[in-house]
């Protein structure tokens, strides 16, 4: 019986050899769905091994958020984590210095942000080259990726993104606006008010390949083949990322970085150039905010900060304070720009805003 990897090779070969046109769309869609399902199985089995005690590459998340540094060997990741945190990651001018995960803790804007330095990521990482599967496993559990290279290898940023995408990590994307409901009988139906370029036959073939014979799918955006398959796959994760180009102090001002990604942050981890800008981008990408607790007998102040995420509510804040904190709390008073007047009483479903001062009542 063929292994999952051998089956993947066979399916990839058939996809390459099948010419794409309208008549083969549903067949290629079925093959790509089969490929995604096989990769899901590999991911699921690796998770069972890791959580069953056979891994050793699982990292306990600490602080308000976790960042993973991703990059080729010798890109300066160890220097950067030492610049940002209290970590002591070994630094040397040769490849594969980092042979395990090195954690560090960054304190910024009252937030404690865990940063993990992992071994350099190589082409073929998703197949396991150079500890690739372990690195990708750690990356999948992060809140933000710093995808980093140096000025002499800027093309690596695109290669790294492709490697991560191939492992089911979607960079700076949102999940497809698709709702899938599975039933035990009744057939399969498709609902959408948006004209789709993909045929209903292809959508059904993809659903059947993922084992869904009965149910309905509601599509609320225009899909391509990738996003259609992503909506069914169980191993897709959607992560924000920052692209970083290091060692800019080794280039003259008038030198152009080939293959540079326009949105990349340029730094020198060794000298500290660009680090403050990088910290500001990290804060924004993590969507972190600060709210300030006001004790019952105190005046509003900025003395008791708590770090939360944009979009969270007062209820989320109360639950973070403690499991039983909200037992006798029904509302809150707020101060700040979002308050209609100082001390406005609001429900616990109210969304938090940066700088909000809160007293639970």
Closest alpha carbon to 149 in 284, 281, 275, 264: 264
- Tens of pLDDT along 166-204? 889 999 999 999 999 999 999 999 999 999 989 999 999
Give the pLDDT of residue 89. Answer: 64
What is the arithmetic mean of pLDDT over 205-230? 94
Mean pLDDT of the chain: 87
Give the pLDDT of residue 263. Answer: 85
Q: Which CATH architecture has domain 65-173+237-286?
A: 3-Layer(aba) Sandwich (3.40)
Lowest mean pLDDT among 40-44, 268-272, 278-282, 326-330: 40-44
- Listed by start position, the domains of the chain span 4-55+176-232, 65-173+237-286, 289-360
pLDDT at residue 97 above 80? no
Tokens of 167: 């492992």
- Where does 289-360 sit in CATH, by number? 3.10.20.30
Residue predicted with more confidence, 188 or 96: 188
**pTM reported for the whole predicted model:** 0.84
Q: Which residues contact 330 (CB under 8 A, 6 or more apart)?
A: 348, 361
pLDDT interval class at 112 (50, 70, 90): very high
pLDDT interval class at 144 (50, 70, 90): very high
- Tens of pLDDT along 279-314? 999 999 999 999 999 999 999 999 999 999 999 999
| HEC sequence for the chain | CCCHHHHHHHHHHHHHHCCCCCCCHHHHHHHHHHHHHHHHHHHHHHHHHHHHHHCCCCCCCCECEEEEEECCCCCCHHHHHHHHCCCCCCCCCCCCCCCCCEEEEEEECCEEEEEEECCCCCCCHHHCHHHHHHHHHHHHCCCEEEEEEEHHHCCHHHHHHHHHHHCCEEECCCCCCEEEEECCCCCEEEEECCCCCCCHHHHHHHHHHCCCCCEEEEECCCCCHHHHHHHHCCCCEEECEEEEEECHHHCCCCCCCCCCCCCCEECECCCCECHHHHHHHHHHHHCEEEEEECCCCCCCCCCCEEEEECCCEHHHHHHHHCCCHHHHCCEEEEECCCCCCCCEEEECCCECCCCCEEEEC
Give the pLDDT of residue 248. Answer: 92
pLDDT interval class at 54 (50, 70, 90): very low
Give the pLDDT of residue 203. Answer: 94
pLDDT interval class at 143 (50, 70, 90): very high
pLDDT at residue 214 above 90? yes
Give the pLDDT of residue 20. Answer: 82
Give the pLDDT of residue 124. Answer: 54
């Amino acid at each position: 019986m063929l292994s999952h990897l051998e089956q993947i090779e066979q399916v990839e070969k058939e996809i390459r050899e099948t010419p794409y046109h309208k008549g083969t769309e549903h067949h290629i869609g079925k093959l790509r769905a089969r490929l995604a399902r096989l990769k899901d199985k590999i991911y699921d089995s690796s998770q069972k091994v890791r959580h069953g005690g056979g891994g050793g590459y699982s990292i306990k998340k600490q602080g308000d958020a976790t960042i993973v540094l991703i990059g080729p060997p010798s890109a300066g990741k160890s220097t950067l984590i030492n610049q940002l945190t209290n970590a002591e990651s070994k630094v040397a001018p040769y490849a594969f210095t980092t042979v395990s995960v090195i954690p560090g803790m960054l304190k910024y804007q009252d937030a404690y942000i865990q940063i993990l330095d992992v071994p350099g990521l190589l082409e073929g990482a998703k197949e396991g080259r150079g500890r690739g599967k372990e690195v990708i496993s750690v990356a999948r559990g992060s809140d933000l990726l710093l995808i980093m290279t140096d000025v002499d290898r800027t093309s690596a940023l695109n290669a790294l993104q492709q490697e991560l995408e191939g492992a089911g990590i979607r960079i700076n994307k949102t999940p497809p606006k698709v709702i899938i409901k599975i039933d035990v009988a009744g057939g399969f139906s498709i609902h959408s008010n948006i004209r789709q370029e993909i045929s209903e036959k292809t959508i059904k073939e993809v659903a059947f390949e993922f084992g869904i014979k009965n149910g309905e799918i509601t599509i609320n955006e225009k899909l391509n083949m990738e996003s259609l398959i992503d909506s069914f796959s169980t191993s897709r994760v959607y992560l924000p990322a920052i692209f970083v180009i290091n060692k800019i102090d080794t280039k003259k001002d008038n030198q152009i970085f080939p293959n540079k990604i326009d949105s990349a942050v340029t730094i020198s981890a060794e000298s500290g150039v660009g680090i403050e800008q990088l910290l500001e981008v990290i804060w924004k990408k993590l969507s972190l905010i600060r709210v300030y607790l006001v004790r019952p007998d105190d005046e509003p102040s900025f003395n008791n900060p708590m770090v939360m995420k944009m979009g969270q509510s007062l209820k989320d804040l109360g639950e973070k304070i403690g499991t039983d904190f909200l037992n006798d709390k029904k509302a809150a008073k707020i101060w700040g720009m979002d308050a209609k007047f100082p001390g406005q009483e609001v429900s616990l479903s109210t969304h938090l805003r940066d700088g909000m001062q809160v007293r639970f009542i």
